[in-house]
Amino acid sequence: MARGSRSLTNKWRYCHPLYYLKRPKRLALLFIVFVCATLVVWDRQTLVREYEVEVNKLQEEVAHLQNLMEELNNAEGGTDKKIDIRRKTKFSNKEVQDDPIDIQRREKVKEAMLHAWRSYETYAWGQDELQPQSKNGVDSFGGLGATLVDSLDTLYIMGLNEQFQKAREWVANSLDFNKDYEASVFETTIRVVGGLLSAYDLSGDKVFLEKARDIADRLLPAWNTPSGIPYNIINLAHGHPHNPSWTGGESILADSGTEQLEFIVLSQRTGDPSYQQKVEYVIKQLNKTFPDDGLLPIYIDPNSGSTGYSPITFGAMGDSFYEYLLKVWIHGNKTSAVKHYRDMWEKSMKGLLSLIRRSTPSSFAYICEKNGQSLTDKMDELACFAPGMIALGSSGYGPADSQKFMSLAEELAWTCYNFYQSTPTKLAGENYFFHSGQDMSVGTSWNILRPETVESLFYLWRLTGNKTYQEWGWNIFQAFEKNSRVESGYVGLKDVNSGIKDNKMQTFFLAETLKYLYLLFSPPSVIPLDEWVFNTEAHPLRITTRNEGNVENLNDQQKPPLRKRGRKEGRSG
């Protein structure tokens, strides 16, 4: 900037009256005014440009120093490596000049996360969940610090380093899994195992991997059944796996088919094939009799591995089984070693197409539930993960099918957004019914801060670039701020029509809802989808190429050993 200032000073000689002494006075004066005015404008524009260049350089230097500080902080915390959650273009000029509206919105989401986290720190630190209205904590997951563990990667991604380090110290020094508690294998896997593995993949800190292995070892006996289909409940201290009594002893489809991603990653990170072998055997068993339409009833006999007469749904108790067929294929980098997952998923998408109906008069597309040969015109908000899943998987088809499925994803996302827009609070109910001539109406009217719709909006924005999905997400965020934010955190609603509040801040609000909203307003280089895949609790895991001949390729002689000897009311994550 100094060099430019000197060159401008030399040019100001034209503004001195002596320069025009021998010229006609009027001409000289007019010329002086013209030259001086021109130089003032030129000088100002040049200085502004040089200022902007200097500011950009300083911003890049500050960002570089912050990155170095993060590496030093992680090193002091026991980290042996640091994974950059962005591409190497992190500090390019394009990203420095981020969309001001996106910056403002994600800062608002970050502030919401801080409000939720500080409330948890103040009133429920180390406990599973915060009850914001009564300002106390409860151990609804056996005392595993579920909110803390579920929030680790959200804190990391948002750059909340002080909060992340404090949480890391609690995990290292206080997290104890030796609990006399009957744990849901599914919920513990997606929240705790998934949360710890994601924190490890992001930070490289081995304390998270060690803890993930500890809890997984306690869950592993659940797979010791005659068929290899796991029981869905196990005592963390004593073992003794079993199924809930209300299922009649049956295992649940989603609870049995939503551990593959986490346990495969655990085997890859530890080099121990036992975790992967247990969960992949489940898929092998189901694939032997997998129907042409790829749709399975929600109950499975853990003794025979057969499915009985029970509902088929992409909502509670079915949903994430179909999600993981796609995501294990993506996580394996779409190689031949994981092609059977993609094949099964494509069959399931054929089945999904058979469940699509459209309402009257507004033609909202929705996914029916099926029982035997009859369809029920009901769709859970939980099934609103499906638009994102379909969009994510659409690129694996040829051009015609790819466009067909992407269009369907967009139609379903519009329906899910209208689940929110159709209520006085602009928050969605738990499920909806569709009646001829009446479009949609709320069935179960509570809202417990679920993430599924904003999850799908995130995927559709990333994959299409259509900013409409950002606008929809922002509207949903504002509805949460208006109706669910209280002095000490966030709560759900007992009724989306009246706005009456409950007294629980669900762990997945921090793990999923706020994370997907933050990423919705972040550049696509933050957790890029060709490098990371999200588990069903929104925990990003690094994509790892699978090859033939690895430990995952089991044969029938490797059946898990016999051990003679979930459930949730709706998928909570």
The set of catalytic residues is: 187, 319, 430, 452
Q: Are 186 and 566 in contact (CB under 8 A)?
A: yes
CA proximity to 191, closest of 130, 147, 227 = 147
**Token pair in block for residue 563:** 């051990």
Distance, CA of 425 to CA of 430 (rounded, Å): 14
Q: How many CB atoms lie within 10 A of CB 120?
A: 24
**Token pair in block for residue 342:** 């993609």
Long-range CB pairs of 14-18, under 8 A, 24+ apart, other chains included? 14/39, 15/39
Pairing mode of beta strands 489-490, 485-486: antiparallel
Q: How many CB atoms lie within 10 A of CB 502?
A: 19
Is 9 annotated in a binding site? The answer is no
Distance, CA of 462 to CA of 283 (rounded, Å): 30
CA proximity to 447, closest of 471, 430, 425, 472 = 430
Nearest 10 degrees: CA dihedral of 406, 410, 411, 414?
Answer: 170
Distance, CA of 373 to CA of 156 (rounded, Å): 47
**Token pair in block for residue 514:** 């706020």
Q: How many CB atoms lie within 10 A of CB 55?
A: 11
CA torsion sign for 494, 499, 502, 504 is positive
Q: Which residues are annotated as a binding site?
A: 536
Q: Which residues are annotated as a binding site for Ca(2+)?
A: 536
